Structure 1
Amino acid sequence: MSAFPLGRTRRASLISTMCAGLVAVGGVLTGCSEDPDAGTNGVGKLPPAQIQSKTRKAAEAADSVRLSGKVVVSGRTYKLDMRLKDDGGSGSVTTKGSTFWLLRVGTHLYLKADAGFWAQDDEAGGGQSAGAAAGKLDDKYVKVPQGDPSYKQLSGFTDKDVLLDGLLTLHGTLAQGDRSTADGVRTVEVTGDKGAGGTLAVSLEGEPYPLLLERAGNGGTLELSEWGKDFKLAEPTEKEMVDYGKQLPRS
């Protein structure tokens, strides 16, 4: 019997062992795998514009998402930790040392903050009304009337489509960036103007969800997680809320 087949088997075994050893020590060997995208969702093979298109569609189709991190708008920094879905959202927003909580169920929007938050209006010249209300509103949900000037601004923090549409936009010429991981998930980056226009890390596993966003112009960094993970949204109980009337105190 010819020894050639046995030698070929040994060579194949040697190559396999060598590749496994290089992987174990973090090495890279071209040719050990015919397809570096094997086992991924395939978006890494696509042009950057198509990757961005697919990740937008995946984000829009998802029922829910958690968004956390910092956003800088007009020089003001907002720290967000929001859970969002199509019919509302909940979470916290921190800016200028103050934290408030938002809850939206359908069109009903509620704001909760401590007495210090509400008392800021008094310090800014809001008069006695805000100061007197601060204790009453402390740690209570206050329903924000739809006619109040703050309704549109605050509800934007709880609107999945509005937030994602504004945040997932990259500016300038698109290019494919590095491959990395985000929270243990393999990703491929899409950059705008070599990162100056923003960088988006897209999942290479399962749906091509956006997982990490570095906004253009030092506009903050956000993590996007818990895609499709449902959570409960419920109106506050009577004991948890205060009806302040047709307009909130200025704050």
Structure 2
Amino acid sequence: MRTGTIRRGAIALAAAALLTGCGGSGNGGGEPESTGPTHNGVSGLAPNEILQRSTTALKNAKSYRIKGNINTDDGTKMGLDLRLVGSDLGGLLSVDGTSVEMLSVGGQQYIRPDAKFWQQNADSPDAAENIVKLMGDKWAKVPSGNKDFADMFGVASVDKLLKPDGSLTKGETQDIDGVKTIGLVDGSAKGGTIYIATTGEPYPIRLQSKDATEGQITFSDFGATFDDVQAPPEAQVVDLEKLKRK
């Protein structure tokens, strides 16, 4: 099985698109909203300070969910729905019609791809069929230090997700699902806008691509309990390295 080419190129490209300041256009002015009892005061701060406070708030939330879709310049389509608890995560990543369930608990990573994933990435149709039979509905344990899936699990990195490529300016204020936000517009060529909550904790609420057709991701469920983000029972795990040799 050619694990060295497990859609890594497509995943890397899609991840790069996600991790580029994702957004729509802003007005560049950033008019502060009227101050109320729950206003967190970030509207009046400099753009970089707003982003810093938002990044800190997200890390302090301990748990949250990121969900969305992104299209890359080469036509790769990626979707993600991940739940994060500290450094652990669980959820689903899809790339061009294939999907991979992901778990990372205590530093150990697990994957449970669908049959189409193996059909595209095994050495032959017979090898793919064999892997699917051997795995069933079990999880594959990813060896420590394996680089083939680094991009896949790396899409949830807060520091990368919220890092702009260019200088930031304040954009439009917007109500997103009942949350008042202010946009921070990335001035790079790819651009993007990150919308930060201006009431309550200054959580990031949405990353919006510069071109609306390229997609967006949202942040939600801050501080939620995700009982499914836990290591699978040993009986439901196969070793990826051993699987490759079968």
Please classify the TM superposition score into its range, dividing by the shorter chain length.
0.7 to 0.9
The equivalences for 1:99-110 within 5 A come to: 99-110=99-110
Residues 128/221 of structure 1: CA separation in 2 closer, same or farther (3 Å cut): same
Q: Distance in 1 between matches of 2:166 and 2:177?
A: 28
Tell me which residue corresponds to 1:148.
146
Q: Does the 8 Å contact 1:91/1:102 carry over to 2?
A: yes
Residues 196/156 of structure 1: CA separation in 2 closer, same or farther (3 Å cut): closer
Q: Does the 8 Å contact 1:65/1:83 carry over to 2?
A: yes
Structure 1 runs, 4 residues or longer, greater than 6 Å off? none
Q: Distance in 2 between matches of 1:214 and 1:194?
A: 14
RCO comparison, higher one (Cα < 8 Å, 6+): 2
Q: Distance in 2 between matches of 1:225 and 1:144?
A: 28
Tell me which residue corresponds to 1:8.
none
Tell me which residue corresponds to 1:63.
62
Secondary structure at 1:150's aligned position in 2?
A: coil
Secondary structure at 1:49's aligned position in 2?
A: helix
Q: Distance in 2 between matches of 1:189 and 1:154?
A: 27
Q: Does the 8 Å contact 1:64/1:84 carry over to 2?
A: yes
Q: TM-score, normalised by structure 1?
A: 0.73
State the 1:184 CA deviation: 0.8
State the 1:72 CA deviation: 4.4
**Uncovered stretches (5+) of structure 2, i.e. residues with no partner:** 1-32
Matched, 1:129 2:123: no
Tell me which residue corresponds to 2:241.
245
Q: Distance in 2 between matches of 1:246 and 1:37?
A: 60
Counterpart residue identity of residue 231, structure 2: E
The equivalences for 1:68-217 within 5 A come to: 68-72=67-71, 75=74, 76-122=76-122, 125-126=123-124, 128-157=126-155, 160=156, 163-193=157-187, 197-215=191-209
Q: Distance in 1 between matches of 2:204 and 2:186?
A: 15
Secondary structure at 1:118's aligned position in 2?
A: helix
Larger Rg over CA atoms = 1
Q: Deviation per CA, 1:62-111: give whole Å up to 9, x if none.
A: 20110001234573332000011223100000111011100111121111
Tell me which residue corresponds to 2:231.
235
State the 1:246 CA deviation: 4.8
State the 1:148 CA deviation: 3.5
Q: Distance in 1 between matches of 2:178 and 2:102?
A: 30
Residues 245/48 of structure 1: CA separation in 2 closer, same or farther (3 Å cut): closer
Q: Distance in 2 between matches of 1:49 and 1:149?
A: 32
Secondary structure at 2:129's aligned position in 1?
A: helix
Q: Does the 8 Å contact 1:63/1:230 carry over to 2?
A: no
Tell me which residue corresponds to 1:49.
48
Aligned length: 209
Q: Does the 8 Å contact 2:143/2:240 carry over to 1?
A: no
Q: How high is the sequence identity, in percent, across the aligned residues?
A: 30
State the 1:127 CA deviation: 6.7
Tell me which residue corresponds to 1:3.
none
Q: TM-score, normalised by structure 2?
A: 0.74
Counterpart residue identity of residue 103, structure 1: L
Matched, 1:226 2:221: yes
Q: Distance in 2 between matches of 1:116 and 1:99?
A: 8
Q: Distance in 2 between matches of 1:149 and 1:195?
A: 29
Residues 121/54 of structure 1: CA separation in 2 closer, same or farther (3 Å cut): closer
Q: Does the 8 Å contact 1:119/1:131 carry over to 2?
A: yes
Residues 202/88 of structure 1: CA separation in 2 closer, same or farther (3 Å cut): same
